[in-house]
């Protein structure tokens, strides 16, 4: 459709403003949906207007506008209007344009708020339209999200024109699907989503676009997904051997761990390739479950690999597995990017000959130098994006392993379905017994002295603390300085304690040695950026202080908090939050009242929307134009059903029937907003 510049009343300058909102064509404009509507459809009589009400009235001008300048920068314009029930003052503040607009006897429709001034009713800064020419009064009027320079009026009238100019739109959701799911036709929906006759029509129209948006998203995602269900995976003949491993654990598995382990092992026995996501809150014991699966793979004569996002975590996993597998004759090999060439070569050899039963490492383990002997299981810890690409790399090496993805980011069901619709999901929804919830407090700057005193007391009692500074996005440098400055400041405040500093720009070896010092207890306070976020386990550290907590996503805060409370002592989390806005307050409150990752992430989704849900790091979904993933979960389910049906009929959307949907799905993919 045509460029927005050529729409009447737009031109070059406004076109630029529109383009800031991603609106470049008339079609883009049509899909710029209102954020709400104002009901100006009901007309009132002056006598019925109550103070505080926003009303639409039909009036005759009684005496035209008079200007009074009260102060240098305050112009008040007033006029008197009437209808058959009474008279009313109309007041505009600082509006130079109204004078001379109105003639006695002219009939107008006004829309505005009623107030009272010295006992007399007034209507303030009303929208006005000449009777007979009503466009935005006397009906339900759309309100759009604005940017600077674009007013409601501009958007409303541009939209009205756009709908006229666009003419009849070509429907792209086939009629059988619309019929089956009760979805409104495009032209009807387009008109009514912007300029509805009544709110019922609006709801019907909105539903269509929510359905459409979610359907197209699913179709786009499916294009990136492979059909794994049909792929075959190694068969683990003997899965009962896992009992021998479980017996050696120093604790009984929780029921949720058992259930998850069962689900994993029955996948591995089935002959089909496993593709499973295990979601479990921090501390729910995912590693033990993974270890049990790895044990079973090895006892069935296969190799297994475990991937972690950072070297620190990989190293820790290696130690944990060594401990779990002590005396079982299972050989665990570490492979990370920062290892010396000689060490790496040795590791490669052991992996390719099969001398290594288990490989633990970072992404280094799927690099091309690595050849596996007979890899049958890959556990990806905290790698939500472990997907098609990595799997293709493995497949290129002739390995087609079962995949187990472990995530401590509790994703609300709705999002999980969208992001991981092709994965089976197990949820470990139970913490090992005896865990004390972390006591959490949100505080302001004025509490800083008290918090430092609190820290000092607890450190003297032998505890350790983390202090986390946020990533400041603009420059990585300021981000680094932030943590660095704070650690210097703390060193002067606590001259007796060793303060450590860790950030993402450090070389892995240095990070590791600092982490070692923290684990050994030499470092009392570890100041860091979010690099410690995932997985790290230091039982003696039980205070977590988070600076600028308002900058973090709730799930991320929950993750960070999960670093403490791993020992037997009561743990604390202190959130320094700045700013007074309601959303921040609610979010901090959520952290203080709940230790349940699923609840927290759902609140986050509700309070901030999916765009912010993962922070910027893991943001994998496009911004929704109209759907609300939280409120529209029913439509989400329906659209999923529809997507499935469409794909089973035409997996690559090559038929004429789905041409329009394919075009739109491709657009989502090409914009690079769908993750894989």
SS3 260: helix
CA-based nearest residue to 41, from 140, 142, 156: 140
Q: Give whichever of 283 and 361 is closer to ligand ADP, judged by the CB atom.
A: 283
Point out the residue whose Cβ comes nearest to ligand ADP: 285
392 C-beta neighbours (distance < 10 Å), count: 11
CA-based nearest residue to 220, from 654, 653, 657, 655: 653
| H/E run at residue 373 | none
Q: Is 285 in the site for ligand ADP (CB under 6 A)?
A: yes
Q: Helices marked H in 541-629 — which ranges?
A: 554-561, 582-593, 597-608
* Smallest separation (angstroms) from ligand ADP to the CB of 431: 8
Q: Are 302 and 241 in contact (CB under 8 A)?
A: no
The interface partner of residue 285, options being ligand ADP, Mg ion, none and the CB cut-off 5 to 8 Å by kind, is ligand ADP
Among 287, 296, 336, 601, binds ligand ADP (CB under 6 A): 287
Q: Is 537 in the site for ligand ADP (CB under 6 A)?
A: yes
Cα separation, 641 vs 185, whole angstroms? 19
Residues that bind Mg ion (CB under 5 A): 535
Strand partners, 77: 67, 92
CA-based nearest residue to 371, from 303, 272, 313, 307: 303
* Smallest separation (angstroms) from ligand ADP to the CB of 659: 46
The residue range among 145-153, 281-289, 341-349, 471-479 that interacts with ligand ADP, by the rule CB under 6 A, is 281-289
Q: Give whichever of 422 and 430 is closer to ligand ADP, judged by the CB atom.
A: 430
Cα separation, 39 vs 94, whole angstroms? 26
The interface partner of residue 597, options being ligand ADP, Mg ion, none and the CB cut-off 5 to 8 Å by kind, is none
* Smallest separation (angstroms) from ligand ADP to the CB of 287: 3
* Smallest separation (angstroms) from Mg ion to the CB of 463: 22
* Smallest separation (angstroms) from Mg ion to the CB of 459: 26
Q: Are 57 and 95 in contact (CB under 8 A)?
A: no
CA 622, 208, 420: angle at the middle one, nearest 5?
40
Q: Is 279 in the site for ligand ADP (CB under 6 A)?
A: no
Cα separation, 579 vs 262, whole angstroms? 47
* Smallest separation (angstroms) from ligand ADP to the CB of 344: 27
* Smallest separation (angstroms) from ligand ADP to the CB of 542: 14
* Smallest separation (angstroms) from ligand ADP to the CB of 563: 10
Cα separation, 257 vs 81, whole angstroms? 74
Q: Give whichever of 249 and 350 is closer to ligand ADP, judged by the CB atom.
A: 249
Length in residues, the chain: 676
Among 76, 253, 447, 592, binds ligand ADP (CB under 6 A): 253
Q: Give whichever of 319 and 650 is closer to ligand ADP, judged by the CB atom.
A: 319
Among 158, 192, 201, 257, binds ligand ADP (CB under 6 A): 257
Q: Give 589's Cβ-side CA count (13 Å radius).
A: 9
* Smallest separation (angstroms) from ligand ADP to the CB of 526: 18
The interface partner of residue 470, options being ligand ADP, Mg ion, none and the CB cut-off 5 to 8 Å by kind, is none
SS3 226: coil
Burial class (CB in 10 A: 0-12, 13-18, 19+), 371: middle
- Alpha-carbon dihedral angle through residues 645, 649, 653, 654, given to the nearest 10 degrees: -170
The string of DSSP codes covering 469-481 is: -PPPSS-HHHHHH
| H/E run at residue 482 | helix 476-493
Q: Give whichever of 288 and 588 is closer to ligand ADP, judged by the CB atom.
A: 288
The interface partner of residue 675, options being ligand ADP, Mg ion, none and the CB cut-off 5 to 8 Å by kind, is none
The radius of gyration computed from the CA coordinates of the chain, to the nearest angstrom, equals 31
| H/E run at residue 342 | helix 341-353
Q: Are 378 and 406 in contact (CB under 8 A)?
A: no
For residue 145, what are the CA distances in angstroms to 18, 35, 150, 154, 213?
Answer: 11, 6, 9, 12, 19
Q: Is 620 in the site for ligand ADP (CB under 6 A)?
A: no
The interface partner of residue 186, options being ligand ADP, Mg ion, none and the CB cut-off 5 to 8 Å by kind, is none
Q: Give 222's Cβ-side CA count (13 Å radius).
A: 22
* Smallest separation (angstroms) from Mg ion to the CB of 287: 5
Cα separation, 18 vs 158, whole angstroms? 11
The residue range among 72-80, 237-245, 286-294, 489-497 that interacts with ligand ADP, by the rule CB under 6 A, is 286-294
477 C-beta neighbours (distance < 10 Å), count: 10
305 C-beta neighbours (distance < 10 Å), count: 27
Q: Are 309 and 337 in contact (CB under 8 A)?
A: no
Q: Give whichever of 214 and 294 is closer to Mg ion, judged by the CB atom.
A: 294
* Smallest separation (angstroms) from ligand ADP to the CB of 335: 21
Q: Is 282 in the site for ligand ADP (CB under 6 A)?
A: yes
Cα separation, 277 vs 420, whole angstroms? 8
Among 201, 284, 383, 528, binds ligand ADP (CB under 6 A): 284
The interface partner of residue 352, options being Mg ion, ligand ADP, none and the CB cut-off 5 to 8 Å by kind, is none
Q: Is 408 in the site for ligand ADP (CB under 6 A)?
A: yes
* Smallest separation (angstroms) from ligand ADP to the CB of 50: 58
The residue range among 185-193, 248-256, 473-481, 646-654 that interacts with ligand ADP, by the rule CB under 6 A, is 248-256
* Smallest separation (angstroms) from Mg ion to the CB of 381: 6
Q: Is 409 in the site for ligand ADP (CB under 6 A)?
A: no
Point out the residue whose Cβ comes nearest to Mg ion: 535
* Smallest separation (angstroms) from ligand ADP to the CB of 313: 10
The residue range among 181-189, 277-285, 540-548, 597-605 that interacts with ligand ADP, by the rule CB under 6 A, is 277-285
Q: Is 299 in the site for ligand ADP (CB under 6 A)?
A: no
The interface partner of residue 251, options being ligand ADP, Mg ion, none and the CB cut-off 5 to 8 Å by kind, is ligand ADP
Q: What character string, x for contact with ligand ADP (CB under 6 A) and - otherwise, covers 413-452?
A: -------------------x--------------------
* Smallest separation (angstroms) from ligand ADP to the CB of 385: 18
What sign does the dihedral 189-194-197-198 (CA atoms) show?
A: positive
Among 130, 251, 586, 667, binds ligand ADP (CB under 6 A): 251
Among 126, 283, 470, 610, binds ligand ADP (CB under 6 A): 283
The interface partner of residue 542, options being Mg ion, ligand ADP, none and the CB cut-off 5 to 8 Å by kind, is none
The interface partner of residue 254, options being ligand ADP, Mg ion, none and the CB cut-off 5 to 8 Å by kind, is ligand ADP
What totals of helices (H) and strands (E) does the chain contain, helices first?
Answer: 21, 21
Q: Is 141 in the site for ligand ADP (CB under 6 A)?
A: no
* Smallest separation (angstroms) from Mg ion to the CB of 332: 17
Cα separation, 282 vs 428, whole angstroms? 10
Q: Give whichever of 249 and 607 is closer to ligand ADP, judged by the CB atom.
A: 249
For residue 31, what are the CA distances in angstroms to 3, 23, 38, 382, 606?
Answer: 14, 9, 19, 36, 23
Cα separation, 675 vs 661, whole angstroms? 19
Residue numbers at the binding site for ligand ADP (CB under 6 A): 251, 253-254, 257, 280, 282-288, 408, 432, 537
């Amino acid at each position: 459709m045509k460029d927005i510049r050529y729409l009447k009343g737009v031109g070059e300058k406004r076109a630029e403003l529109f383009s800031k909102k991603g609106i470049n064509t008339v079609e883009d404009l049509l899909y710029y949906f209102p954020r709400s509507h104002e009901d100006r459809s009901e007309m009132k009589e002056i006598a019925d207007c109550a103070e505080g009400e926003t009303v639409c009235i039909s009036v005759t001008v009684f005496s035209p506008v008079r200007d009074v300048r009260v102060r240098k920068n305050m112009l008040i314009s007033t006029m008197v209007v009437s209808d058959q029930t009474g008279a009313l003052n109309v007041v505009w503040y600082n509006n130079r344009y109204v004078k001379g607009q109105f003639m006695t006897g002219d009939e107008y429709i006004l829309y505005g708020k009623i107030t009272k001034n010295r006992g007399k009713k007034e209507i303030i800064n009303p929208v006005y339209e000449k009777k007979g020419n009503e466009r935005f009064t006397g009906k339900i009027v759309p309100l759009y999200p604005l940017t600077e320079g674009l007013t409601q009026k501009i958007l409303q009238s541009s939209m009205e024109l756009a709908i006229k100019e666009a003419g009849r739109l070509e429907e792209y959701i086939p009629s059988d699907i619309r019929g089956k799911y009760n979805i409104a036709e495009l032209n009807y929906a387009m008109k009514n989503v912007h300029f509805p006759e009544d709110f019922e029509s609006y709801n019907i129209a909105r539903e269509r676009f929510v359905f459409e948006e979610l359907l197209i998203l699913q179709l786009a995602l499916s294009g990136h997904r492979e059909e794994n269900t049909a792929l075959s995976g190694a068969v683990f003949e003997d899965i009962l051997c896992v009992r021998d491993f479980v017996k050696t654990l120093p604790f009984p598995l929780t029921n949720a761990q058992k259930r998850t382990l069962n689900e994993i092992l029955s996948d591995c026995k089935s002959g089909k390739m496993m593709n499973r996501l295990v979601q479990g809150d921090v501390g729910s014991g995912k590693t033990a479950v993974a270890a049990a699966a790895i044990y079973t793979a090895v006892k069935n004569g296969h190799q297994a690999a475990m991937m972690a996002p950072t070297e620190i975590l990989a190293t820790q996993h290696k130690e944990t597995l060594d401990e779990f597998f002590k005396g079982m004759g299972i050989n665990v090999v570490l492979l990370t990017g920062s290892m010396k060439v000689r060490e790496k070569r040795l590791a490669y050899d052991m992996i390719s000959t099969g001398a290594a039963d288990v490989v633990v490492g970072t992404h280094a383990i799927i690099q091309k130098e690595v050849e596996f002997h007979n890899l049958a299981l890959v556990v990806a810890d905290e790698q939500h994006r472990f997907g098609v690409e990595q799997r293709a790399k493995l497949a290129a090496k002739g390995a087609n392993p079962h995949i187990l993805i472990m995530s401590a980011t509790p994703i609300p069901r709705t999002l999980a379905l969208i992001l991981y619709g092709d994965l089976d999901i197990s949820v470990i929804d139970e913490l090992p017994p005896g865990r004390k919830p972390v006591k959490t407090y949100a505080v302001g700057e004025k509490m800083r002295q008290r918090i430092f005193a609190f820290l000092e007391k607890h450190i003297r009692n032998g505890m350790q603390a983390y202090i986390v500074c946020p990533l400041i996005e603009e420059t990585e440098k300021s981000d680094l300085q932030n943590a660095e400055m704070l650690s210097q400041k703390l060193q002067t405040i606590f001259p007796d304690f060793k303060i450590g500093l860790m950030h993402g720009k450090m070389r892995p070896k240095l990070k590791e040695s600092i982490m070692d010092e923290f684990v050994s207890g030499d470092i009392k306070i570890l100041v860091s950026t979010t690099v410690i976020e995932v997985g790290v386990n230091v039982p003696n550290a039980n205070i977590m202080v988070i600076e600028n907590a308002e900058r973090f996503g709730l799930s991320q805060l929950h993750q960070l908090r999960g670093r403490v409370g791993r020992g037997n002592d009561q743990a604390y989390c202190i959130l320094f939050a700045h700013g007074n806005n309601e959303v921040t307050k609610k979010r901090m409150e959520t952290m203080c009242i709940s230790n349940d990752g699923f609840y927290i992430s759902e609140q986050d989704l509700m309070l901030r929307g999916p765009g912010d849900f993962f922070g910027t790091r893991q943001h994998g979904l496009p911004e929704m134009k109209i759907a609300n993933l939280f409120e529209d979960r029913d439509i989400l389910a329906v659209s999923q059903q529809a997507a499935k049906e469409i794909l089973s009929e035409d997996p690559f959307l090559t038929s004429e029937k789905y041409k329009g949907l394919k075009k739109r799905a491709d657009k989502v993919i090409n914009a690079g907003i769908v993750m894989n």
